[in-house]
Structure 1
């Protein structure tokens, strides 16, 4: 995810009223089409438009995951998607992964989000300007949201981290890879080729 800026911060645990208020603000803010707004720990977080390299890797990730699940009965009806909000209504977190997998039927709604509980995977391509958002904030949020696999692709370093087995609000398993290696996804029975992933 690209450059990030917190728009508002509240101390302590956020309650439903505050979350709903921040959601209303996020929904009303007029931003360029390539901007995203997320909510985490009482903060509105705005992401600026991504670079070409960022989008190249996002596109390759989506294509390869779609190819990996194609024609397999256990993945029938699943969407490989990016650019939609993912809402955890229990922990009051709203994120927008670069790539995620969830049942396609979740898109049959007038809402602007899908439930976090339905995600099978989230992937982020790390920003040059604010890597902490993916390496720290989302590494904190995604296991709390119950997302089984969180893939962090870092073009600054040419590394990929596969985080899995969320328990007690954190991932308990992690595997590290370098660009050029095939990256197996836990629970998917296939690997993603990364030989053509560019560096920033």
Structure 2
């Protein structure tokens, strides 16, 4: 389902008062509200990764999943699969975190989200200066970590990590290691 977003300070403002159906992921790309069913691979990767990250963060930041983040454009409203929030980050007047609060974003790619995760989100996250952008691809069985964003919409560094190896997320003054051996590969769910 796609609906055009009107100009608003935050892309998410157009959804104020709207009851969204359960079991769907909602994001805003190019001013369109996009709803897709939540996938099993995505959910299992998040379930595996989130507790590992949370434990290592301790009191130095937080982790969120599928929570609205305000970006500096009314045309984009993303709720990253996993977002690592910087220590001391504050919520805005709408009660949401903004792009500059993010230390890292991890997205789990599906067939329906490939264009967004590999192109549109990559460009926006880099333009916004998000230090680490990780793409987890169950179909390929690989994670790709992008670092050193440029305002031109690119990342200077890219490291590929096959499922089974540790995914290292270099954050400010610390590093998070995520064991990927439990991540499901496409076709392996029973």
> Normalised by the size of structure 2, how large is the TM-score?
0.82
Maintained 8 Å contact 2:80/2:106: yes
Q: Which residue of 1 aligns with 2:29?
A: 40
Maintained 8 Å contact 2:61/2:84: yes
CA positional deviation for 1:156: 1.0
Q: Which residue of 2 aligns with 1:197?
A: 183
> Normalised by the size of structure 1, how large is the TM-score?
0.78
Where does the alignment leave 5 or more consecutive residues of structure 1 unmatched?
A: 10-16, 71-75
Specify whether residues 186 and 134 from structure 1 end up closer, same or farther in structure 2 by C-alpha distance, changes over 3 A only.
same
Q: 2-side partners of 1:108 and 1:170: how far apart?
A: 27
Maintained 8 Å contact 1:22/1:44: no
CA RMSD of aligned residues (A): 2.5
Q: 2-side partners of 1:22 and 1:97: how far apart?
A: 14
Where does the alignment leave 5 or more consecutive residues of structure 2 unmatched?
A: none
Correspondences of 1:90-129 after superposition (within 5 Å): 91-92=73-74, 93-103=76-86, 111-129=94-112
* Greater share of residues in helix: 1
C-alpha distance after superposition, 1:162-193 (max 9, x if no partner): 01111123211110111111121123324211
